[in-house]
A and B are shown apart, each in its own frame.
Chain A
Amino acid sequence: MPDGSVGQAVKRREDRRFLTGKGRYVDDIHRPGELTAVFVRSPHAHATVKSVHIDAAMASPGVIDVFVGADMEQDSIGSLPCGWTVTDRHGEPHKSPPHFPLVRDKARYVGDHIAVVLAETLEQARDGAELVEVDYDELPANVEIVKAVGGPPLHEEAPDNLCYDWVLGDEAAVDEAFAKAHHITKLDLVNNRLIPNPMEPRAAIAEYDGGLDSYTLWSTSQNPHLLRLILSAFVTGIPETKLRIIAPDIGGGFGSKIYCYAEETVCLWASKRVGRPVRWTSDRSESFLADAHGRDHVTHVELAMNETGEFIGLKVATRANMGAYLSSFASSIPTYFYATLLAGQYRTPAIFCNVKAVFTNTAPVDAYRGAGRSEATYPLERIVEVAARELGMDPAEIRRKNFIRPDQFPYNTPVALTYDIGNYEASLDEAMRMINYRGFSGRKAESQARGKLRGIGFSAYIEACGIAPSSVVGSLGAGVGMWETAQVRFNATGTVSVLTGSHAHGQGHETTFSQIVSDTLGVPMENVEIVHGDTGQIPMAMGTYGSRSLAVGGSAIMRACGKIIDKGKKIAAHLLEASVEDIEFKDGNFTVAGTDRSKSMAEVAFTAYVPHNYPEDLEPGLDETAFYDPLNFTYPAGTHICEVEIDPETGVTEILDWVAVDDFGKVINPLIVEGQVHGGVAQGVGQAMLEHGIYDSGSGQLLTGSYMDYCMPRADDLPSFKVGMIETACAHNPLGVKGCGEVGAIAAPPALINAITDALGIMHLEMPATPEKVWRLAQTAAAE
C-alpha cells in the first residue's frame, strides 16, 4: 500500500518534462505539408470593409491562398456563439449579434479579423499579409463604457449598444433598508480592464483527412471537448464524430483559453479548403489585441448600516464592457458570476444589483481568473473598508460583526446562492495573528519616523466555484451542462489509466489526481497515468474553468473508482468463494471480512482481463466511466491582509507583508495549493498596482499592446507570501474539497487598495495604483 499520499506535499510528476525542455506545446508540433496562417487585422476600431484586394498577396512567393469572410460564408461557416443567454429585466433575451470568424461587413475593434493568408512559411505568409489591400470606410468609434449607450452603434441588433439591462435581488427590500439606515456609505469605482497574458500565446494546427473525411485540431484550449461542441454544433456543422481536438501541454490559460476563437476556427475550415494542414501561432502583439480581455466595470455601490454598524442593505449599479462581440461566456460573467457574490461573507439581508452590459469598439471581454467574483469582491471589500473609516470602526471588527456565523450554515443569501459551510472568523483571526495586527500601530509609527507611510488592508472574500449544478445553470440561461467525467481503466498488468475531462495547464492535475486514485485504489502512484486534453481518448468532458477541476473532475474520478471497487468486490468474492457482501476493500486488498483471506487489486484486475475463473453473470474488464454533476457550487473563503509602505517622495509602494488564510476544504496537495495561491495573488497585485488595458478614447487604438506598455508583475514587484489555511470540508462532494485556483486574484485587489488608501489617509483611488497616482495623492495629503 502506498503511504497515503492525500494531504501530502507530493512533488509534481509533470515537472520533469517541463524542466528538461520536453514539454509538448501546440507550437512545438508540426504536420507534414503544413501551411502557416497569418491574419490581416483591422487597424481601425470601427470601419466598414468596402473591399479586400488579394491579387498582390496571391502573387507573392509561397502564398497558397487568401481568404475573406465571404469565402467562409460560401461554405456556411456560422457565427461564434455565446453559450449563455442572460434574460434582461424585462424578460427579453440579451442581444447576441453575429460574430463571424472573418468579418463580413465591418471591423469592430482594432485587431478584428479581415482576411487570412496561407503560405509555405511564416515569413512568406507575413509578407503576403502586407500585400493585402483593404478599403475601409472609417466610422465613429467608442471604447468607453460610460459613452456606449447612445454612442456609435456597433450592431444592427443592438442599436443602443446595450447587450442587456439585468437585475438581481429585492429592490423594494433594499429601498426599505436604506430608508431606515443610520449611516449610508457610497463609492464609485472602476474595475480596470486586464489582458490575461498566459505566457504561451494561443496557437492552432488543423489537419483534414480526406480519406476519413475527418479533422484533427491541436488547440491551446482549456476545454477541448467544449470547443468541439461549439465548433461542431454552432459554427462548422462538422459532426463531433469527425472532429478530434487535442490540447496538449498548455502554457497557462487563466480563462483566456476557454473560448472558441476566430483563428482556430479559420484554420480548421481552411485545412479542408486547401487540403493541407494549417498552423497559426499568435505573436504577443496579437494576443494583446485579440485574446479575450477581463474585468472592465464601472460601478456605483452603496451600503446601508444601522446604529451598531450592522449592514442592512447593499445597492450596486454596474456597467460592464462586453467589447465588440459576445465571447463564449461573456454575458454570464457580470451577472451570475458577479451579482450572486455580492453578499460576500456577510449577513446583509437585502441586496439589489443592476447590471447594464454594453458593446464598445474593444476586444471581447470574458472570464479571466476570478471572473465575476473578483469584480464582486472588489466593490464589496472596498465599501466595507470605507464604511469602517467613516464610522471610526476597526476594519477587522466591522467585518467580524457582520460575518455569517458558523452555526448559520447552510446559509441562503439574498442573491440566490446557498453557502454550504464556512468559518469566516477563524480565517480572520488566523490572518490577524499571522500578520501581528496588534503590532501594526508600532510599525506604522516606525515607518513614519523614517518619513514613510505605512498602511494595512483587509480582504475577507468569498467565491463560488466548482461550477456547477447543471440544473441550476440551465435555469439561469447556460447552454451547456456543467458536469465532468472520468474513466478509470485498469490494464491487465495492474497499471491504471485515468482519463479525465479536466484539462491541466499548470495546475498539477497529473499529481493531485494520481494521489487520489493511488489512495483510493491502493495502487502506487507510479502505476497511475493521468490522461487529459484529447477528445479522441477522453469519453466526454466540460473542461477547466471556475476552479472546478478537483471539486467536479476529482469527484468524477472518485465516483469511477467507487465503481471499480464495486466490480472488484464481485470478482474477488468469486475468487475467494465468499459472498460479495462479505468482501471488504482496504489498502488495495479485497478481504473476506474477519479472515485473512484476500486478493490484491492487481490479482483482481488480472482476473478481469484473463477471466478463466470468473463469475458467470459479470462482464470481463475493469474499466469504469462516471459522470459527476455537482449538487451545489463550492464556497472557498478566507481573509488576506497585506501591509504596504509608501515612499511619499517617489510614490513607490512596497508590499512588506502578505498573509493569505484560505479555507479550501480538504487539501490534497498543499504544495500545489500554495502555488496556486501565490500565482493568484500575483495576478491580483498586478491588477491593483500595475496592469491596465487602455484604449485611446479618440482613435480606439490599444495603447497597451505590448510588454513595454502593459506592466506585467515581475519578480521584484512582489513579496514572498505567507499562506495559512483553515479547513471546513465541503459538505456536498466526496472529496470535501472546494477549489483554490482563483482566490488570490479575487482577494488581492481590495486588500492592496485598502492598504494603500489606509497609508495615504484617503478613502479611494482607482486601480492600478501606479507610483505616479500614489505620488500625486501623497503630495496632496502632505499639503493638507
Chain B
Amino acid sequence: MPTVTMTVNERQVSGEVEGRTLLVQFLREHLNLTGTHVGCDTSQCGACVVHLNGDSVKSCTILAVQANGGKVTTIEGLASGDALHPMQEAFHEHHGLQCGFCTPGMVMSAVDLLSKNAKPSEKEIREWLEGNICRCTGYHNIVNAISHAAQQGDAA
C-alpha cells in the first residue's frame, strides 16, 4: 500500500492508504478530522471542500495519493486558537448555518472566493457557491455572511 505524506493544518502527517482512498477518507478516517463531510457521491454538494495548496478543492474527487506532498487546510485548521477566522465569525454573526453539515465546505469555499475576489457582488457570491449545496438556509444568510466578511476585508 502506498504511503502518503502531506502537511495538514500545518502539521506533517503520513499514512498508508489504498490506491483508491480518497483525500476525504484519509482526512476523516486516518486523521480523524471529521469536520470535512461527505454529502454526495457525484462531486456536487461541496460538503467536503478543503484547501489544497491554497485552492479550494472537493476532497471527495481527489485521491489521497494525489495530495502527496501537498499542503492541506481543513475547517479544523482555520481558526487560530480560540479566535475564529473572520469568515467563521461572519457565519456566526449572520446565522449562515443551521444543521451545520454543509458549513465546513461552505466556509472553506467562501474563504477561497475572497482570496480570489476580495469584493464580490451578491451575484458573484451566488455563482461561486454553485458547487456547494445547503438544504437548510436557503443561502440568504450564507450570502449575507460572505458579503459582510468581504466588507470587513480580512477574511480571505
Q: Which residues of A contact B (CB under 8 A)?
A: 11-12, 14-25, 27-28, 123, 197-201, 249-252, 254, 283-285, 505-508, 671-672, 674-675, 678-683, 706-708, 712-716, 718, 720-721, 744
Q: Is B35 a contact partner of A20 (Cβ separation < 8 A)?
A: yes
Complex-state Cα separation, A744 to B38, whole angstroms: 27
Residue B154 interfacial (CB < 8 Å)? no
B135 proximity list for chain A (CB < 8 A): 197-199, 252, 254, 679, 683, 712
- Nearest residue (CB) in A for B98 is A506
Q: Is B143 a contact partner of A715 (Cβ separation < 8 A)?
A: yes
B139 proximity list for chain A (CB < 8 A): 678, 682, 713-715, 718
Complex-state Cα separation, A683 to B101, whole angstroms: 17
Q: Is B20 a contact partner of A707 (Cβ separation < 8 A)?
A: no
Which residues of chain B in 125-147 are interfacial with respect to chain A, using CB atoms and an 8 Å cutoff? Answer: 125-127, 129-130, 132-144
Q: Is B95 a contact partner of A672 (Cβ separation < 8 A)?
A: yes
Q: Is B35 a contact partner of A715 (Cβ separation < 8 A)?
A: no
Complex-state Cα separation, A706 to B45, whole angstroms: 11
Closest 3 CB pairs of A and B: A21-B35, A18-B100, A251-B101
- Nearest residue (CB) in B for A198 is B135
- Nearest residue (CB) in A for B103 is A18
> Which of B35, B130, B137 interacts with A22 by CB under 8 Å?
B35
Complex-state Cα separation, A675 to B98, whole angstroms: 8
Complex-state Cα separation, A317 to B43, whole angstroms: 42
Complex-state Cα separation, A511 to B147, whole angstroms: 25
Given A21-B75, A28-B34, A123-B18, 12 more contacts at CB 8 Å? A15-B92, A18-B97, A22-B76, A25-B34, A27-B34, A250-B99, A506-B100, A674-B95, A675-B137, A678-B139, A681-B138, A706-B44
- Nearest residue (CB) in B for A19 is B88
Q: Is B97 a contact partner of A706 (Cβ separation < 8 A)?
A: no
A-B contact pairs, 28 of them (CB 8 A): A15-B91, A15-B92, A17-B100, A19-B97, A19-B100, A20-B78, A21-B104, A23-B103, A25-B37, A123-B18, A123-B20, A199-B99, A199-B102, A200-B99, A251-B100, A251-B101, A252-B101, A284-B42, A506-B100, A678-B137, A678-B138, A678-B141, A679-B98, A713-B139, A715-B125, A715-B139, A716-B126, A720-B143
Complex-state Cα separation, A235 to B104, whole angstroms: 37
> Which of B36, B75, B138 interacts with A679 by CB under 8 Å?
B138
Q: Is B132 a contact partner of A715 (Cβ separation < 8 A)?
A: yes
Which range holds the interface residue count of chain B?
A: 35 or more
A12 proximity list for chain B (CB < 8 A): 92, 95, 97
A201 proximity list for chain B (CB < 8 A): 38-39
Q: Is B140 a contact partner of A506 (Cβ separation < 8 A)?
A: no
B136 proximity list for chain A (CB < 8 A): 199, 252, 506, 675, 679
Residue B62 interfacial (CB < 8 Å)? no
Complex-state Cα separation, A28 to B75, whole angstroms: 15
> Which of B42, B75, B125 interacts with A20 by CB under 8 Å?
B75
Residue B156 interfacial (CB < 8 Å)? no
Complex-state Cα separation, A430 to B42, whole angstroms: 43
A21 proximity list for chain B (CB < 8 A): 33-36, 74-76, 104
B125 proximity list for chain A (CB < 8 A): 715
Q: Is B95 a contact partner of A679 (Cβ separation < 8 A)?
A: no
Residue B84 interfacial (CB < 8 Å)? yes
- Nearest residue (CB) in B for A17 is B100
Q: Is A20 a contact partner of B76 (Cβ separation < 8 A)?
A: yes
Complex-state Cα separation, A200 to B140, whole angstroms: 20
- Nearest residue (CB) in B for A681 is B138
Residue B13 interfacial (CB < 8 Å)? no
- Nearest residue (CB) in B for A723 is B140
Residue B16 interfacial (CB < 8 Å)? no
Complex-state Cα separation, A233 to B38, whole angstroms: 34
B130 CB to closest chain A CB, in angstroms? 5
Q: Is A20 a contact partner of B101 (Cβ separation < 8 A)?
A: no
B127 CB to closest chain A CB, in angstroms? 5
Complex-state Cα separation, A507 to B141, whole angstroms: 14
Complex-state Cα separation, A199 to B134, whole angstroms: 7
Complex-state Cα separation, A712 to B102, whole angstroms: 14
Residue B41 interfacial (CB < 8 Å)? yes
A100 CB to closest chain B CB, in angstroms? 27
Residue B107 interfacial (CB < 8 Å)? yes
Complex-state Cα separation, A14 to B98, whole angstroms: 9
Complex-state Cα separation, A12 to B96, whole angstroms: 10
